[in-house]
Structure 1
Amino acid sequence: MTGFVSIKRGRRRRTIFEAKKSLTAEEVEHGLKLVIRDGLATQAMVTLTGGIFLVAFALQLGASNTVIGLLAAIPPLAELLQIPAIYIVDRIRIRRLVVVAASLAARLCWIPIILIPFFLSPGQGVIALIASIALYASFSAISHCGWNSWMRDLIPQDRLGAFFSHRLTLSTALALVVSLVAGFFIDSWEIAFPDLAAYGYSVLFLLGLIAGLVGITFLARTPEPRMVVEEGEDGLLAAIKKPFADLNFKNLIIFLGSWNFAVNLASPFFTVYMLQRIGLDISLVVALSVLSQVMNIIFYRSWGRVSDRYSNKSVLAVSGPLFMLAIFAWLFVTLPNVYILTYPLLVLIHILMGISLAGVSLASGNIGLKLAPKGQATSYLAASTFANSVAAGVAPILGGLFVDFFAERELIWTLIWKDPVRELVFVTLDLQQWEFFFLFAFLLGLYSLHRLAAVQEEGEAKEQEVVDELIAGVRRDMRNFSPAGGLRDMVKFPFSSIRNYRKKSRQKPPEEETAEEGEGTEPLDPRRP
Structure 2
Amino acid sequence: MSISERLAPSQSLSEDEVETGLKWLVHNGVWAQGMETLALGPILVAYALYLDASNLAIGLLAALPNLGQLALLPAVQMVEKVRRRRLLAVVFGAASRPMLLVMAAAVLVPSKEAGLALLLIGLTLRYSLGAFVGCSFNSWIRDLVPEHRMGAVFANRLMWMTGIGMVVSLLAGLFVDEWDRLVPHREAYGYAILLVLAFLAGCVSVYCMCRIPEPAMPPAERHLPLTERLAQPLKDVNFRNLVIFLGSWNFAINLAAPFFTVYLYKRLGLSVTMVTALLIVSQAANIAVLKTWGRIADRVSNKGVLTVAAPLFVLSIFLWTFTTLPEKHVLTIPLLVVIHILTGISTAGVTLASGNISLKLAPRGAAASYLSVSSLITAICAGTAPIIGGLFADWFTDRELTLILRWTEPETRHVFQAINLRHWDFFFGLAAILGFLSLNRLRQVKEVGEVEEDIVLEEIMATARQGMRNLTSVAGLRSAATYPVELLFRKVRLRRRKSGEKTPTRFTSDGPIP
Same-fold call, TM > 0.5?
A: yes
Counterpart Cα distance in 2 of 1:87 and 1:253: 20
2:123 maps to 1:140 = no
2:172 maps to 1:182 = yes
Partner of 2:10: 20
Counterpart Cα distance in 1 of 2:509 and 2:162: 22
2:459 touches 2:509 (CA, 8 Å); kept in 1? no
Using the TM superposition, give the Cα deviation of residue 473 of structure 1 relative to its aligned residue in structure 2, in angstroms. 2.7
Change (3 A) 1:295 1:324: same
Residue pairs, 1:111-510, within 5 angstroms? 111-474=101-464, 476=466
Partner of 2:85: 95
RMSD: 1.7
1:142-170 alpha-carbon deviations (Å, 9 max, x no partner) = 11000110011111111100000000001
Counterpart Cα distance in 1 of 2:181 and 2:2: 55
Counterpart Cα distance in 2 of 1:234 and 1:112: 38
The TM-score with structure 2 as length reference comes to 0.90
Change (3 A) 1:476 1:140: farther
Counterpart Cα distance in 1 of 2:164 and 2:149: 23
2:104 touches 2:119 (CA, 8 Å); kept in 1? no
Question: Which deviates more, 463-472 or 393-402?
Answer: 463-472
Counterpart Cα distance in 2 of 1:348 and 1:177: 20
Using the TM superposition, give the Cα deviation of residue 470 of structure 1 relative to its aligned residue in structure 2, in angstroms. 2.1
Change (3 A) 1:230 1:447: farther
Counterpart Cα distance in 1 of 2:469 and 2:366: 42
Residue pairs, 1:66-85, within 5 angstroms? 66-85=56-75
Residue type of the alignment partner of 1:403: A
Aligned residues: 476
2:104 touches 2:193 (CA, 8 Å); kept in 1? yes
Using the TM superposition, give the Cα deviation of residue 478 of structure 1 relative to its aligned residue in structure 2, in angstroms. 7.4
SS for the counterpart of 1:15 is: helix
Counterpart Cα distance in 1 of 2:23 and 2:469: 27
Residue type of the alignment partner of 1:73: A
Change (3 A) 1:116 1:480: farther
Question: Which deviates more, 252-261 or 72-81?
Answer: 72-81
1:100 touches 1:219 (CA, 8 Å); kept in 2? yes
1:47-95 alpha-carbon deviations (Å, 9 max, x no partner) = 1111110001101111111100001001111112112211111111110
The TM-score with structure 1 as length reference comes to 0.87
Using the TM superposition, give the Cα deviation of residue 121 of structure 1 relative to its aligned residue in structure 2, in angstroms. 2.3
Stretches of 4+ moved more than 3 A in 1?
474-482, 513-516
1:78 touches 1:134 (CA, 8 Å); kept in 2? yes
1:173 touches 1:294 (CA, 8 Å); kept in 2? yes
| Larger RCO of the pair (alpha carbons < 8 Å, separation 6+) | 1
Counterpart Cα distance in 2 of 1:323 and 1:454: 20
Counterpart Cα distance in 2 of 1:172 and 1:129: 26
Counterpart Cα distance in 2 of 1:515 and 1:223: 35
Partner of 2:475: none
Counterpart Cα distance in 2 of 1:241 and 1:392: 21
Counterpart Cα distance in 2 of 1:479 and 1:205: 46
Counterpart Cα distance in 1 of 2:108 and 2:115: 10
Using the TM superposition, give the Cα deviation of residue 455 of structure 1 relative to its aligned residue in structure 2, in angstroms. 0.4
1:298 touches 1:474 (CA, 8 Å); kept in 2? no
Partner of 1:490: none
